[in-house]
A and B are shown apart, each in its own frame.
Chain A
Amino acid sequence: MKSSQLSESRYLLPENITKKDFLDNFGQSFTVKAAKASNEKFTIVDSFEWGIYQAGMLAIRHQDNSIRLYKENSLLDSDASLDIGKINARSRFWWDFPDSPAREILKKILDLRALYPVFNGLLKIENYNLEDQDGKILVMCQLVSIASPEKPRTPLMRQVKLVPVTGYKLENQQAIDLLAQLGAFKPSLKPLDSLLGALGVSPQPYTVKPKLRLSPDAPARSSISIIIAIMIEKQRLTEQGVIKDIDTEFLHHFRVATRMIRAAIVQLKEVFPAPDVTMLKDRFGAIGRETNRLRDLDVFILDKHRYMGLLPASLRDGLLPMFDDFEQARSQEVKRIAQWLSSKAYRLEIEELQALFQQGYSAIETEWSEKPTIELAVNKIQHRYRKIQKAAAKITHDTPDDDIHSIRIDCKKLRYLLYFFDGLFNKKQVKVAGNHLKALQDRLGIFNDLSVQGEFLENYLNEEEHKAGKDILLIASLGGLISSLNTMHIQERENCIRELAIFSNEENRQLFKDTFVIQS
């Protein structure tokens, strides 16, 4: 029947109950017949951000190297799972998987993230049919046990699922009552949390954007210390992912965190003594610079297919030697960065910096260090918005590209200020203001990327042109690509000018004025 009137029920079995107890107990009212059983090593995989968990799903890499996706209400039920199929043991990105509905789901969840193991264990699934004397199945029962590989005999959890059969409501209730006699209980958490909880896995979704609850009246320097301490922590959480080269997002977030730390130091410099600002800026700057080249290469390689698409088919293959070069350079760079991040020198440096902020930065008082945080926030945000707005008002079709780029940098600074201080203002209004800023930043970002990429390729072309035995096809492809990017760059300029006009219009001016105020 398509609309089953009875629903499955799940219980957890207390530790002291043996399997014999469990089976004998059902034996009081039913003939218990063992059906399909499986026993295998398995791995729960998710992204660093716990994207699959956050979408209410569980992904398991099974022993046969297939990955299956389970929804919250049918965990470990292979009939109701989405199968990605057998894949290479090293496949970890959505684009490594064969076409399937599961791949589409993962594409949305993972984006650039890799799947990586969060729990390894042993999974035993035993099915039992509770029958009458004629061998008619009255209730189906499944016992799922999960154990750690170190202690295979002591399961971390045992879950019993009763699946009713149409037309046998009384018998299903009888089975439920028998389980209750054993002390089996319904999990209090949702299935996914109850499963992960039993395994001792606690998902800690990661976002690089800090969730801050600053107190408006707290001294500015202590608030900024909190911000920097949190950002250093976020930076450090990505270190292992960069070292193991799990995916490119680790480095990206490492850099975002470092940049935000520098932004806090430079933009809010008034809370620190001037010599300290220089010292801190340099030290964090040095950390950021180490990663520049790898990030450039990552961005290019991730965009490979887009670049190829910009060229006529005959020229596409011409670019392949360039991407081979980039891939090679990337693996060297990954090694170098992994060594650097694992080095004692880096560890000592970052730990020292971390220690400076953990208990609040201690230094002589400055003009702003003891003023209320909210005053600093309002002052800085208003100042930055006015600066953007004034510059935007002057933009014409003849404005040099560099001026547009410097507005982009100011927008980024404003964005960071909002990250730091958004909790101090009206939530709804901040969101609207933030969305306007985002729309502008997206446009400016594309514009900037196009010029950075154009420049990067021109430099590459210069090197190639002067090589002995140059590759003519590559040079032709590069020429085509550079000119494509240039055309797009010119078009994108118009989009930026339009978006800037919106951002600096009267309505937005008022919005920023009203939102970022000292509330009484």
Chain B
Amino acid sequence: MKIIASYSIKGGVGKTATSVNLAYAAAKAGNETLLIDLDPQGASSFYFRIGHSKKEKSGYFFGKKNRLLKHIKGSNYKNLDILPANLSFRNFDIMLSNMSKSKRRLKEMLALLRDEYDLIILDCPPSINLLAENVFYAADMILVPVIPTTLSELTFEQLLTFFDKNGYKKKKIRPFFSMAQSKNKLHHETIRDLDKRYSVFMKSIIGFSAEIERMGLHREPVLAYSTKKGAAQSYRTLFNEIVKTLSSKKF
């Protein structure tokens, strides 16, 4: 079982779109996949037409396996399940700080699902806190969408610094360019510049696209409603690159 986190300190960079489409691509490729919506806003859940849980509970999250399984929902697609978010997820940090081994809880919880899934995708909220540290510890790969602008560049560097300071494995971090605009000169320059400075950037680039924006109307992954268009293609390419990276020995 592999765990991939879609993470960024910054909001609005395409984390959820990435999680949703990668989860769909993985399931379509035959992997038993679970998307965990860690963001209390529940955008991932929304895209899969699963509403907020009425009960505001989150105790099950770090509890026993059976209790956890009861909260998992099948999506409208084969091989793809969702663990939906609810608003109480905003209290994760307080919950975790009261626990022993507070940075390893998520990893332990995910290990319980080893027999059920081939791949788990974590859609993370934009913050750098105890939950994020749990993600850094648990994930095999941390995918970081980076909009090719100066501000995004800065937050990406902050992340690297944080990893250095706290001893997390930096090689887990795999940034990729997200919402890149082909006609934007600054975007071009930033991409060229960052690619030169950091060799870890994925080759696949997810361009800015109205198709992706429309996911909110369709409430489906782009890959489900416009299979042949550019946006769908680029997520498929990204997924293939991830598979290749995860299986390479260097990673």
- Stretch of B69-77, B91-99, B137-145 that contacts chain A: B69-77
Indicate whether B117 reaches chain A with its CB closer than 8 angstroms: yes
Interface contacts beyond A1-B72, A167-B71: sample of 7 additional A-B pairs, CB < 8 Å, sorted by A:
A1-B34, A1-B81, A136-B49, A166-B72, A166-B73, A166-B81, A167-B70
B70 to chain A, nearest CB (A): 8
Pairwise interchain contact B115-A2, C-beta atoms closer than 8 A: yes
Pairwise interchain contact A3-B74, C-beta atoms closer than 8 A: no
* A residues at B contact (CB < 8 Å): 1-3, 5, 129, 132, 134-137, 165-168
B12 to chain A, nearest CB (A): 24
In the docked arrangement, what's the CA distance between A239 and B120, Å? Answer: 61
Which residues on the B side are within 8 Å of A129 (C-beta)? Answer: 76
Which residues on the A side are within 8 Å of B173 (C-beta)? Answer: none
A292 to chain B, nearest CB (A): 56
Which residues between 36 and 95 of chain B lie within 8 Å of chain A, taking CB atoms? 48-51, 69-74, 76, 81
Pairwise interchain contact B116-A2, C-beta atoms closer than 8 A: yes
In the docked arrangement, what's the CA distance between A168 and B73, Å? Answer: 7
Count, chain B residues at interface, CB 8 A? 18
Pairwise interchain contact A3-B73, C-beta atoms closer than 8 A: no
Pairwise interchain contact A167-B49, C-beta atoms closer than 8 A: no
In the docked arrangement, what's the CA distance between A135 and B73, Å? Answer: 14
Pairwise interchain contact A1-B73, C-beta atoms closer than 8 A: no
Pairwise interchain contact A168-B219, C-beta atoms closer than 8 A: no
Return 10 A-B CB contacts under 8 Å, by A number.
Answer: A1-B117, A2-B116, A3-B115, A132-B49, A136-B50, A137-B74, A137-B76, A166-B81, A168-B73, A168-B74
Which residues on the A side are within 8 Å of B32 (C-beta)? Answer: 1-2
Pairwise interchain contact B51-A165, C-beta atoms closer than 8 A: no
Given A1-B116, A2-B32, A166-B81, A135 and B74 contact (CB-CB distance below 8 Å): no
B85 to chain A, nearest CB (A): 14
In the docked arrangement, what's the CA distance between A139 and B49, Å? Answer: 14
Which residues on the B side are within 8 Å of A167 (C-beta)? Answer: 70-74, 81
In the docked arrangement, what's the CA distance between A500 and B50, Å? Answer: 76
In the docked arrangement, what's the CA distance between A165 and B76, Å? Answer: 9
B197 to chain A, nearest CB (A): 42
Given A1-B32, A165-B73, A135 and B219 contact (CB-CB distance below 8 Å): yes
In the docked arrangement, what's the CA distance between A132 and B74, Å? Answer: 14
B140 to chain A, nearest CB (A): 19
Pairwise interchain contact B115-A5, C-beta atoms closer than 8 A: no
* B residues at A contact (CB < 8 Å): 32, 34, 48-51, 69-74, 76, 81, 115-117, 219
Pairwise interchain contact A1-B50, C-beta atoms closer than 8 A: no
Among candidates A5, A132, A168, residue contacting B69 with C-beta atoms closer than 8 Å: A5
A181 to chain B, nearest CB (A): 25
In the docked arrangement, what's the CA distance between A144 and B218, Å? Answer: 30
In the docked arrangement, what's the CA distance between A45 and B13, Å? Answer: 57
Which chain A residue has the least Cβ–Cβ distance from B78? A79
Pairwise interchain contact B74-A165, C-beta atoms closer than 8 A: yes
Which chain B residue has the least Cβ–Cβ distance from A136? B49
Pairwise interchain contact A134-B117, C-beta atoms closer than 8 A: no
Pairwise interchain contact A134-B74, C-beta atoms closer than 8 A: no
- Please provide the 5 A-B residue pairs with the shortest distance between their CB atoms, ordered closest to farther: A167-B73, A166-B74, A165-B74, A136-B49, A134-B49
Among candidates A3, A136, A137, A165, residue contacting B116 with C-beta atoms closer than 8 Å: A3
A131 to chain B, nearest CB (A): 8
Which chain B residue has the least Cβ–Cβ distance from A167? B73
B60 to chain A, nearest CB (A): 13
B113 to chain A, nearest CB (A): 9
Which residues on the B side are within 8 Å of A3 (C-beta)? Answer: 115-116
A166 to chain B, nearest CB (A): 4
Which chain A residue has the least Cβ–Cβ distance from B83? A167
Which residues on the A side are within 8 Å of B50 (C-beta)? Answer: 136
Which residues on the A side are within 8 Å of B70 (C-beta)? Answer: 167
In the docked arrangement, what's the CA distance between A5 and B34, Å? Answer: 16
Which chain B residue has the least Cβ–Cβ distance from A169? B70
Which chain A residue has the least Cβ–Cβ distance from B33? A1
**Max chain B C-beta neighbours (<10 A), residue from A5, A132, A134, A167:** A167
B223 to chain A, nearest CB (A): 17
In the docked arrangement, what's the CA distance between A166 and B49, Å? Answer: 14
A50 to chain B, nearest CB (A): 34
In the docked arrangement, what's the CA distance between A243 and B32, Å? Answer: 52
In the docked arrangement, what's the CA distance between A357 and B81, Å? Answer: 68
In the docked arrangement, what's the CA distance between A135 and B50, Å? Answer: 9
A46 to chain B, nearest CB (A): 31
